[in-house]
Amino acid sequence: MIIYDIAMKIKTITCHDVYNYGASLQAYALQKYLSKLTHNVEIIDYLPDYLLVNYRVCWKRYNVLPESRLYKYRSNFLVDFAYRVKKSFKKIRFIIEKHGRKVAFDKFKRERLICTDRTYSSCEEMREANLQADLFIAGSDQIWNPLFTNGRDPSFYLQFTKAKKISYAASFGVSLLGDEDRNNMRKWISSFSAVSVREKTGIKLLKSLGLINGVQVCDPVFLLNKEEWLKIASNKYNKDPKIVVYNLGELDPIIKECALSLSRKTGYKIYSIEERGNINYADIRVKNAGPSEFIELFGTAAHVVTNSFHATAFSIIFNIDFYTFIKNNTSSRIVDVLTDFGLQQRLNSKVYEGSIDWRKISDRTDDYKAKGVNYLKDQLKL
């Protein structure tokens, strides 16, 4: 590892506090890796209103329809309150049921992420604060995805500073850009000293913007090894081998079929890490896991079944036999990482047997990580 004679003051910006495992862990990984090189690293605690929706009820006023018997009482406080509760009931129930999960994520942020003392809510606030650093880094994950508000937010393109700025493993999350997004992104990204993205599609999009010097690098989670990750694991669950299911979004019957098949063959219990869906076929449903609990479960997993990029990434880092299922084969972030490791057969497999020969993967792991290490080494020069 390279230790630098001059410690740089570095500030990073990413979606670090959105109650998503991959988002929290990639933010930690980049900060941890840079800190190991003796640099002084802070994550800008940027939390605009649109990123605060996970555990917040929008208490907007709801209109009582004229045909309702309560219409004439629509200005009454109790009627208005009852309508708000009714319209927000699902969100309120989610907040109550997932309170433990929020507590676990908040604890991880408090104990593991070194953030700026001040929380910022807009690009203008950060510009007025005149944040100081030798280097600003935007990344990683889908911070430039225009389908999300953050992908159109100049803050995630570091437009609040004129200091040296680079990106690390930023992801567009799409393969095509609209005209307005193209114009804004071309202008914003052109102000960077160096640009790196996570997927091959990102390189293509940069070229379509006239930015030809982009580099593809690994997601930050690959910058740390298994032993380093296990240092932040919790100690809440038994150490028995298990099948870990992490099903993002709509429940996939193929993931269920694979997990149950593996359980019948191995006798291992199924542990589900749950965000919103209720995975009723699991033996143990883990509803209140934060990032540290997520790492612990991967540390004792014998098999992983998922549709998540970061669950796939940690399966590779931890050398776990895994199966990844996606409905869109053009989902480049998963396809890219599996192709780079020669593990395409683990995508949408119809046969749930056979172990991965991790000895053959080890050399690829070093080469894969080296892309990111070399990019950062070149940029961490005053």
339-374 residue pLDDT tens? 999 999 999 999 998 899 998 898 888 889 999 999
Note the pLDDT tens digit of each residue in 91-101.
677 777 788 99
**pLDDT given for residue 64 in this prediction:** 64
Note the pLDDT tens digit of each residue in 262-311.
999 999 999 999 987 789 999 999 999 999 999 999 999 999 999 999 99
Q: What residues have CB less than 8 Å from 100, skipping those under 6 apart? A: 287, 288
Percent of the chain with pLDDT over 70: 91
Domains with residue ranges and CATH for the chain = 9-53+99-223+369-379 (3.40.50.11720), 226-350 (3.40.50.2000)
**pLDDT given for residue 63 in this prediction:** 64
Q: Would you call 213 helix, strand, or coil by DSSP?
A: coil
- Residue 137 has φ and ψ, to the nearest 5°, of -125, 125
Percent of the chain with pLDDT over 90: 77
**pLDDT given for residue 330 in this prediction:** 47
Q: What is the mean pLDDT of residues 144-152?
A: 96
Q: What is the mean pLDDT of residues 113-123?
A: 98
Q: What residues have CB less than 8 Å from 139, skipping those under 6 apart? A: 12, 14, 30, 167, 168, 169, 170, 196, 220
Is the pLDDT confidence value at 86 over 90?
A: no
Distance between CA atoms of 78 and 310, rounded to whole angstroms? 45
At 167, the pLDDT band (50, 70, 90 cuts) reads very high
Q: What is the mean pLDDT of residues 242-257?
A: 96
CA 310 to chain centre: 7
Q: What residues have CB less than 8 Å from 162, skipping those under 6 apart? A: none
Q: What is the mean pLDDT of residues 13-36?
A: 97
**pLDDT given for residue 57 in this prediction:** 60
Question: What is this structure's pTM?
Answer: 0.90
**pLDDT given for residue 289 in this prediction:** 96
Note the pLDDT tens digit of each residue in 185-204.
999 999 999 999 999 999 99
Is the pLDDT confidence value at 226 over 90?
A: yes
